[in-house]
Each structure stands twice: as C-alpha cells, then as structure tokens.
Chains A and B, each alone.
Chain A
Amino acid sequence: NAGVTQTPKFRVLKTGQSMTLLCAQDMNHEYMYWYRQDPGMGLRLIHYSVGEGTTAKGEVPDGYNVSRLKKQNFLLGLESAAPSQTSVYFCASSPAGRSWAEAFFGQGTRLTVV
C-alpha cells in the first residue's frame, strides 16, 4: 500500500554540491513527474516521463536532470546545487492514456541549499 515514495524527506546541501532524489511507485503507472513547490507559485513541472527510458522537459528544467531506467523509479538529479533550488520537491505518477485519471503524489522532499 505504499503508493509513491520519495527519499530523502529532508536535505541540506551546500552550494555546488550534487544530489539525487529518488521517487518510487508501486502502481505500475506509465507516467511520472517531478514538481517543485514554491510559495505563491504553486507547483511547477520540472521534468516528466511517459514511460521507461523516456524523459521530457517541463516548465523549469534548468539545473536538473532526470532518468527513468526502470518503470517504477524516477530520479531527479542536481549536479551543482544553487540557493535558487531551495524548494519542496514532489514526485507524482499516473496511468497513461486516460485524461481523467488522478495523479498520486509522494510526501515531498524539503531541500535547502545554503
């Protein structure tokens, strides 16, 4: 009954450090997404994937990379963290091909870059 699981839940990075956020889903969903949530700006799409081995850019992709080597996992990487990347990051998944289907969200990762 896990749904969408994100790790870690909290992280503090120094400027210039790198890290990877992991998202895992156990619902066999084709689509996966990474969003960032900032005050007053709602959720903005960073990258998304419509299937294993595929990724695409969202609204705010700069400074991030992603990989979807396995259907159940979607990784978000920060190669050289900047204070502007301080945010709460949410992963989501949804089934393909159905516009009425809901997206399931993880609990979020609170990232602070100092």
Chain B
Amino acid sequence: GNSVTQMEGPVTLSEEAFLTINCTYTATGYPSLFWYVQYPGEGLQLLLKATKADDKGSNKGFEATYRKETTSFHLEKGSVQVSDSAVYFCALLTMEYGNKLVFGAGTILRVKS
C-alpha cells in the first residue's frame, strides 16, 4: 500500500540555521507529493507540492524536489526563523485507492532565537 516515512523529531535549530526534514514514500502509480505545515493550535495548511518527477515545489523559502529514483521529497530551508516553529507533514496523493491523502507521522520543528 501507500505510505510515507518522515524523520523523527523534534528537530531543534537556532535561528538562521539550515533545515532538512527527510521524507521518503512508497506508492503504486505516480503520486503527487505535498508538504503541509501545522502551526500551534491550528489546522494543516499546504506549504508546497510537486506533481511529477524532478519537479521542485517552493514557498516561503522552503523547497523540496520530487526524486523518483530515491522515492524522496526532502524539505529544506536555507535559514529558519522562530516563526517557522511548527509541525511539518509530508503527504502523498494518488488517484488510485479513492484519491486519498496519506500522511507521514509529522516532524516537530523548534527554532530558538
């Protein structure tokens, strides 16, 4: 079946540090890949997405590249801010199996000033 594996957290960084959150997936067919972010006390919101191999999604300084050969979609940011503290979820969506979003476990990011 379809699944997403994320690196375990929490990840604690100082402001302006480089961020990588690893995400790998298993899927039948050709999924679209997403990163969602959840700020404290809120619902999830889309951060970025990529719909085919080698696509790069980017938003708010974050970026991730769809790597079919390694089945990965790692999230990166060059310089994190305190306001980036949140939970980050990697997810995939495939048109098979009823168009369901499948999420990873989430990675907590804490950025210290």
Known contacts A48-B100, A99-B32; decide if A42 and B51 are in contact (CB<8 Å).
no
Taken residue by residue from 30 to 50, chain B's Cβ proximity to chain A (1 for < 8 Å, 0 otherwise) reads as 011010100000111110010
Report whether B46 and A102 are in contact in the complex, using a CB–CB cutoff of 8 Å.
Answer: yes
> Which residues on A sit within 8 Å (CB–CB) of B44?
43, 90, 92, 103, 105
Q: Which residues of B contact A (CB under 8 A)?
A: 6, 31-32, 34, 36, 42-46, 49, 51, 89, 93-95, 98-106
Q: Is the interface of A mostly helix, strand, loop or mixed?
A: strand
Instruction: Using CB atoms, name the residue of chain B closest to A102.
Output: B46
Report whether A106 and B43 are in contact in the complex, using a CB–CB cutoff of 8 Å.
Answer: yes
Report whether B98 and A100 are in contact in the complex, using a CB–CB cutoff of 8 Å.
Answer: no
> Which residues on A sit within 8 Å (CB–CB) of B99?
31, 50, 94, 96-97, 99
Q: How far is the CA of A4 from the CA of B102 in the complex (A)?
A: 19
B26 shortest CB reach to chain A, Å = 15
Report whether A102 and B105 are in contact in the complex, using a CB–CB cutoff of 8 Å.
Answer: no
Interface residues of A in 28-68 (CB under 8 A from B): 31, 33, 35, 40-45, 48, 50, 56, 58
